[in-house]
Amino acid sequence: MKKLTAACVFLAALAPIGLTAGDASACGMSVRLEPIPERPTPVQEIANAEKAMDSGNLLAAASTVLRTFPGIRGATAGSDPLQTRGLRVLALAIVRSDGKAGQASGWTPNANLEWAIQTMREIDQKRPNDPAVQADLGEALSKLPRTQPEAFKLLSLLAQKDLMGSPFAYSALAHLRQAKGDTNGAVAAVKKCEEMTKNTSICKVAPAKAAPSTPVAAVVGKVAMVAPKRPRVAAF
Amino acid sequence: MPHVRIVHLALALALGLAALAGCGPKKRPDGTLDAGSTGAVTAVPTAVEPKADAAHGKELVAQFQCNRCHDGLAQIEPAPQNKHCVHCHRDIMDGKFKGKPDTIARWQPRVKDLQDAPSLEAAGKRMAARWLEDYLLLPVDLRPGLVQAMPRLDISREQARDIAAYLVAGEVADTAPAPRGDAGKGRQILESKACGTCHAFSGVAFLGGTAAGALAFTIDPKELPRAIRLAPDLRHVRARMSPKRARAWLADPKAVKPDTLMPKVALTESEITDVLAYLYNATLDVPPAKGVPARLAVLSRRVTFEEVDRKVFHRTCWHCHSEPDYAIGDGGPGNSGGLGFKPRGLNLSDYNGIAAGFLDGNNERQSIFAKDKDGVPRVVRALMARHAEEAGAPTGEVRGMPLGYPALSLEDVQLVETWIAQGRPRT
């Protein structure tokens, strides 16, 4: 009997888990369960992740995606629209955190960035000729020295055709132009970036290491100072 | 250089003859503009018109997806529910659409305008092919009670002719002269029967209407608002249907078109003749020239994307120009194609999408902010083209937007233009 009572108490204690509001019978007694808040749907979760990313909360964005789709790292872009949105958010969160967000166990930030670039490439292949995706891809490519020439080409073309609506992509272009010594171009990209975001700190570009013949003052005078956590940009 | 003078003289003579021949917009007898003279069409009828191809017309009706709005098409089923604009909107209005009540309540004011479109049942027993052909090329405001209008499709005269041939299959040429009844009595009958309750008759003095309860005929009061929305302007009767068909229609509308809301009005043969005499012979005032309004100067105050999105893009544009991965459906005809338009890939649902532009005729991406030779951004040009369409003026290649809906107010266009001029600030 004691065993039965103990089992009932144990079950009663577990009862609220997984149950919704209403009367429940436990060991012959009725208990009123408190309503359990409805879990957000996957659509709401991904929308929340997108909002988190837009507000700069990259870790939250990545973890929301991973919680909603635990196996997303192995997912194929384009097979499911919602999952593809999740892939985009995770990839961009990784890119904007320099490989730190959504880091899988044992992965280095660079390996994480490689995954993000690969993912953005897949999304781009599934949605060809979409400048919004291309801007995200360009931003991702700008993170690694070996892919920076490709990023420069892609982002320059989008900017030239006035088809870019991402401040992060303009910021990436500003960095790339600066690294090539194109200060005026960097200033123009920074200006576009600043028009597109409240958080203008994402637009700031560190002055390029001036070549001996380049007057440093001219560079510093035109480009706002410093985003300390920007990754290195190779002068390709 | 005498030969140069001769060339110039010949050119001047040719231009003069062209002017005398009536190049430039022409008015039809009913006061509407002739589509063939507006530049809105790609082909002009020649003296010897090719024979219309009704079978091709049927294919075109499918291609232009007429069944997304119109029911009653011969041998063509209505579009499935998720593609049928009118059925979907009507379901939302009637509370039949599955969704959260607050969502439905939010949608209802936005979708109410497109809950009705005329059925094309028995079009062949009612309409004249020539009128239909012209109407498809340059739709006029046929049903003043409807907020939306027939959209201006990307259609050639040959295509319009073939569609008309399909829709009015079996039309027998009816060249009977205008009825010779007593037009004055006809007018009196229209007034006494309260036809003006539903019908406008632009170009003549107001017919007058009456409260539903005092109508001289029976109509379900629940159906009356719909009947008013769908009732055509009687100005167009003389071009739209032959006197013989109009007589049959007045005698018993449901015998001609079983799904019509037009009631059977008790009329003798003689009264019908008098009514027809008025409908076909009354002198119509030329509609007042609307004129294309000028754009307002850009504002000096700051305009952000949030304001433009709330007042224009999100309120008006995005339902047809959205992003399939982020919305229910296929992104709309303005993105993934439809209503005879090729996919334009234009997503006006968010800042990035708007910046990403559209696919041009060569499948190349172009910015909607690119300026034309007059310095007008493409998107502003499209919004103003709708004003031009409403005024019956030529609009060139740019189609008026929003398609088939009233033009945006000049203040809203000003808002968009100001935002663009200020560098499209997001915040």
Q: Which of B138, B167, B196 is the last residue of a domain?
A: B167
Q: Which of B326, B363, B427 sits opposite A198 (nearest CB)?
A: B427
Residue labelled with tokens 């809301």? B261
Q: CA of B419: which chain A residue's CA is closest?
A: A195
Q: Which DSSP string corresponds to B230-255?
A: HPPPGGGHHHHS-HHHHHHHHH-HHH
Strand partners of residue B33: B27
CB pairs under 8 A between A and B: 60
pLDDT for A105:
76
pLDDT (mean) for A94-117 = 91
Q: Which of B365, B369, B425 sits opposite A129 (nearest CB)?
A: B365
pLDDT for B33:
42
pLDDT for A210:
52
pLDDT (mean) for B343-369 = 94
pLDDT for A9:
47
Q: CA of B363: which chain A residue's CA is closest?
A: A129
Q: Which of B136, B167, B198 is the last residue of a domain?
A: B167
What pLDDT digit, counting tens, does each position of B278-315 carry? 999 999 998 888 889 999 999 999 999 999 999 999 98
pLDDT (mean) for B238-265 = 94
What are the boundaries of each domain within chain A? 39-109, 129-205+221-227
Residue A235 pLDDT exceeds 70: no
Among A148-162, B1-15, B130-144, the range with the most confident prediction by mean pLDDT is: A148-162
What pLDDT digit, counting tens, does each position of A106-161 carry? 889 999 999 999 999 999 999 989 999 999 999 999 999 999 999 999 999 999 99
Q: Among the residues of B309-350, which ranges form H helices? A: 333-336
Name chain A contacts of B423, Cβ cutoff 8 Å: 192, 195
pLDDT (mean) for B21-34 = 40
Residue labelled with tokens 């690694």? A144
What pLDDT digit, counting tens, does each position of B55-70 carry? 999 999 999 999 999 9
Residue A213 pLDDT exceeds 80: no
pLDDT for B306:
94
Instruction: Check CB contact under 8 Å for B351 and A197.
Output: no
Residue B68 located in a structural domain = yes
Residues from A contacting B (CB-CB < 8 Å) are 81-82, 84-85, 129-132, 135, 161-167, 192, 195-198
pLDDT for A218:
37
Which CATH fold would you assign to the domain A129-205+221-227?
1.25.40
Q: CA of A84: which chain B residue's CA is closest?
A: B325
Residue B156 located in a structural domain = yes
Q: In whole angstroms, what is the distance from residue B159 CA to residue B149 CA? A: 20
pLDDT for B210:
66
Domain co-membership, B121 together with B70: yes
Q: Chain A closest CA to B364's CA: distance in Å?
A: 8
DSSP secondary-structure letter at A20?
-
Closest CA to A82 of A72, A97, A73: A72
List, in order, residues 6 or more apart from B210 with CB less than 8 Å away: B194, B197
Phi then psi for B241, rounded to 5 degrees? -145, 150
Residue B94 pLDDT exceeds 50: yes
Residue A222 pLDDT exceeds 70: no
CA dihedral A67, A72, A77, A82 (to 10 degrees): -20
Domain co-membership, B129 together with B95: yes
Residue B331 located in a structural domain = yes
Q: Are A182 and A205 in contact (CB under 8 A)?
A: no
Name chain B contacts of A42, Cβ cutoff 8 Å: none
Q: How confident is the model at residue B181 (pLDDT cuts 50, 70, 90)?
A: very high
What average pLDDT is seen over chain B? 85
Structural Rg of chain B based on CA atoms? 24
Residue B319 pLDDT exceeds 70: yes
Q: In whole angstroms, what is the distance from residue B58 CA to residue B34 CA? A: 25
Residue B105 pLDDT exceeds 80: yes
| Helix (H/G/I), strand (E/B), else coil: B287 | coil
- CA dist B321 to B228, B314, B329, B331, B348, Å? 30, 10, 11, 6, 5
B329: left (phi over 0), alpha (psi -120 to 50) or beta: left
Instruction: Check CB contact under 8 Å for A135 and B352.
Output: yes
Q: How confident is the model at residue B20 (pLDDT cuts 50, 70, 90)?
A: very low
pLDDT for B74:
84
Name chain A contacts of B419, Cβ cutoff 8 Å: none
Domain co-membership, B396 together with B334: yes
B321 or B325, which is more confident: B321
Residue A20 pLDDT exceeds 70: no
Residue A25 pLDDT exceeds 50: no
pLDDT for A116:
96
Residue A208 pLDDT exceeds 50: yes
Residue-range definition of the domain harbouring residue B393: 305-421
List, in order, residues 6 or more apart from B344 with CB less than 8 Å away: B321, B334, B335, B337, B358, B359
Of A5-9, B72-76, B258-262, B348-352, the poorest mean pLDDT is in A5-9
Q: Among the residues of B218-336, which ranges form H helices? A: 224-230, 237-240, 243-251, 253-256, 269-281, 305-308, 333-336
Cβ count near B373 (within 10 Å):
5
Query: Quick check: B331 contacting A, CB < 8 Å?
Result: no
DSSP secondary-structure letter at A207?
P
Q: Are B368 and B346 in contact (CB under 8 A)?
A: yes
Residue B29 located in a structural domain = no
Q: How confident is the model at residue A37 (pLDDT cuts 50, 70, 90)?
A: low
Residue A17 pLDDT exceeds 60: no
Which pair of tokens denotes residue B401? 């937007």
Q: Which of B324, B345, B355 sits opposite A165 (nearest CB)?
A: B355
Q: In whole angstroms, what is the distance from residue B344 CA to residue A81 CA? A: 20
Domain co-membership, B401 together with B324: yes
Domain co-membership, B204 together with B253: yes
List, in order, residues 6 or more apart from B378 with CB less than 8 Å away: B366, B367, B368, B369, B370, B371, B372, B398
Domain co-membership, B188 together with B258: yes
A214 or B379, which is more confident: B379
Among B32-46, B47-61, B336-350, the range with the most confident prediction by mean pLDDT is: B336-350
Q: How confident is the model at residue A1 (pLDDT cuts 50, 70, 90)?
A: very low
Residue A27 pLDDT exceeds 60: no
Q: What is the CATH number of the domain that holds B214?
A: 1.10.760.10
Domain co-membership, B89 together with B199: no
Length of chain B: 427
Number of domains in chain B: 3
B108 or A33, which is more confident: B108
pLDDT for B5:
43
B210 or B61, which is more confident: B61
Name chain A contacts of B351, Cβ cutoff 8 Å: 165, 196
Domain co-membership, B86 together with B160: yes
Q: How confident is the model at residue B187 (pLDDT cuts 50, 70, 90)?
A: very high
Residue A233 pLDDT exceeds 60: no
Q: How confident is the model at residue B216 (pLDDT cuts 50, 70, 90)?
A: low
Chain A interface disruption, residue of B303, B325, B336, B424, most A CBs within 10 A: B325
pLDDT for B336:
86
Residue B294 located in a structural domain = no
pLDDT for B48:
65
Q: Which of B167, B199, B234 is the last residue of a domain?
A: B167
Domain co-membership, B57 together with B138: yes
pLDDT for B103:
87
